[in-house]
Every structure is written in structure tokens, then in C-alpha cells.
Amino acid sequence: MKQNTTNYHTHTYRCKHALGDAADYCSAAEKAGLKAIGISDHTPLPDGKWASVRMEMDELPDYCEKIEDAKKEFTGRLEVYSGMECEYFPRYEKFYNDTLREEFGIEYLAIALHFYPLGGEEISTHAFPMGKDALKSYTDLFVEGIKTKIFDFAAHPDLFLARYPSWDSYAERCSERICTAAANSGVALEINGYGFCRDDFSGYPNDNFWKIAANCGAKGVINSDAHCPEHIDIGFERCLDLAERMGVSVVDPVRTQAAKPS
């Protein structure tokens, strides 16, 4: 039986809606038989946006320190990487490159849209149903972010299906745009285990989306989006089943990137 042995989408207590810290997730990963783990909490933002669901800027040094401590503690037992889950708006590109990657040495970045522009505002994907105008805005922004190649993978790209009424031809066209951009940019798309298991915000991962991903040649990465250490491998079996049924090739974007010469 196939096993997924990596997880690059985990959250710490600092985001204000998760539990645990780097060492807690590493302990859980080791017990679950994983070979590599990444800590990828919601990034702080320099303008303080959406502060209720992410760490503060002054918590960033401690976040990085705790990951480094975990790397030392689990040396020879588990590969540990530092990451961030990032909203994409063009205004944050310099912060992601200069502050997160260069100053703090964050090893990988995941793009994830929890907000998108609509009617002069920035709307939460969790808060409101999405019509076609909203889905177009979400798709435009996601494609733009993927094409920057700042990000190593795209987290829960089919999240919109939790708020879009039903699969239709417009959802198909938008999915094709996202998957084509990912395939052309070499950015893996995440098959999100948490989406299979939550009862408050369901609708993803979606077979229709992943069939398109396979047809476009986009690659997948399986993560659990863990918000507590106990969820370190939540949904993995269903993610593997989806990838096999849809014909999605699963890759390891973080270790592949880390192995490249600097």
C-alpha cells in the first residue's frame, strides 16, 4: 500500500486558530512514520492585515527559532523545513522575497487564497458564497500569484468549491486556468487532506478539479493542513486514492527545491 511520507502544511498556535508548536508536530510526524515535515503557519503581514488569523510580526523570530530547535532535536530522525502559507497580493511580493526568504531564511512558501478582491474590498473565501464574478477574481489572483514563481506549491487550489454553488462549465474553465498556470510554472497543486475531513467548510478536494489538473499536466503534493499535531496525516489515504483515480502525479516540491544548488 502506498504511503505519503511528507507533510508541508502545518500550523502553530501563533495563527490563533491552531494548537501546538514545531516540536509537537515533529513528534507527531515521527510517530506517524513521516520522513519530512514543514512548518508553514499563516505568515504575518507587514501592514497588519487579517491579524485575527495569523501571527504578529514580532512573533516571526521566535517562530523561526523554534523550527531551528526542532531541526536539531530531530536530526537523523526527521527532515524539518521552515515554511509559510502566504496570501497573494502583489503588494506583498517584496516582503515574501526580501524578509521571509532572505532575512529570515524561510525555506519554502505556499500560496493560498483566503481573500480576494471584489467590489473594491478584499473578501474572505470562508465568509460568503461565491458567484461568477467572485470566482473570476479568485482565479485571476491565483493565476497571477502562481505565475510569479515565488511559491513552491499552491495550497488547497480548489477551496473555492466550498463556496461556489455547484460544479458547472464556469468552474471548469476557471479550474483549467489555475491548473494550466501551475503546470506551465512548475508549481505543484496541493491535495488537501483536511478538506476531506472537516464538516464546517466542505467541498474540496474535488474530483472534477483534479481530473482537469491531471489533463493539464499539473503535479500534486499531498498535505494535511494540520491545525493540531493529531492531524499530522489526516486524510492522507483519501488523498492518495484521489491522485491514483484521477491520474495525478505526486511530487515533493520542498525537498526537490532544497536539493537545488544555491
Which among 250, 200, 220, 53 is positioned nearest to 153, based on CA atoms?
Answer: 220
Q: Do the Cβ atoms of 161 and 168 come closer than 8 Å?
A: no
Q: Which of 124-128, 161-165, 197-201 has the lowest mean pLDDT?
A: 197-201
pLDDT confidence bin for 201, thresholds 50/70/90: confident
pLDDT at 257 over 90: no
pLDDT confidence bin for 237, thresholds 50/70/90: very high
Residue type, 137: S
pLDDT at 262 over 70: no
pLDDT at 180: 98
pLDDT confidence bin for 260, thresholds 50/70/90: low
pLDDT at 127: 87
Q: Which residues pair with 83 in a beta bridge?
A: 108
Q: Look at the alpha carbons of 61, 36, 17, 90 in this order and tell me if their dihedral is positive or negative.
A: positive
Question: What is the average per-residue pLDDT within 23-52?
Answer: 98
DSSP code per residue over 55-91:
--GGGHHHHHHHHHHHHHHTTTT-EEEEEEEE---GG
Q: How far is CA 261 from CA 9, 165, 203, 256, 257, in A?
A: 24, 45, 39, 11, 9
pLDDT confidence bin for 59, thresholds 50/70/90: very high
Residue type, 233: D
3-state helix, strand, coil in the chain (%, to 5): 45, 15, 40
Q: Which of 106-115, 180-189, 192-201, 251-260 has the lowest mean pLDDT?
A: 251-260
- The chain-wide mean pLDDT, for the chain, equals 96
* Helix (H), strand (E) at residue 133: helix 132-147
128 phi and psi, to 5 degrees?
Answer: -130, 145
Which among 87, 99, 92 is positioned nearest to 60, based on CA atoms?
Answer: 99
Q: Do the Cβ atoms of 262 and 162 come closer than 8 Å?
A: no
* Helix (H), strand (E) at residue 163: none
Domain topology for 6-258: TIM Barrel (3.20.20)
Question: What is the average per-residue pLDDT within 89-98?
Answer: 98
pLDDT at 222 over 80: yes
Residue type, 24: D
Question: What is the average per-residue pLDDT within 65-79?
Answer: 98
Q: pLDDT above 90 covers what percent of the chain? A: 93
pLDDT at 198: 84
Please enumerate in sequence order all residues whose Cβ is within 8 A of that of 98, keeping only pairs 6 or more positions apart, or say none.
Answer: none
Q: How far is CA 205 from CA 91, 98, 246, in A?
A: 29, 33, 12
Domain boundaries, the chain: 6-258
Question: What is the average per-residue pLDDT within 74-83?
Answer: 98
Question: What is the average per-residue pLDDT within 238-249?
Answer: 98
pLDDT at 70: 98
pLDDT confidence bin for 258, thresholds 50/70/90: low
* Helix (H), strand (E) at residue 222: strand 220-223
Q: Is the pTM of this model over 0.75?
A: yes
pLDDT at 1: 53
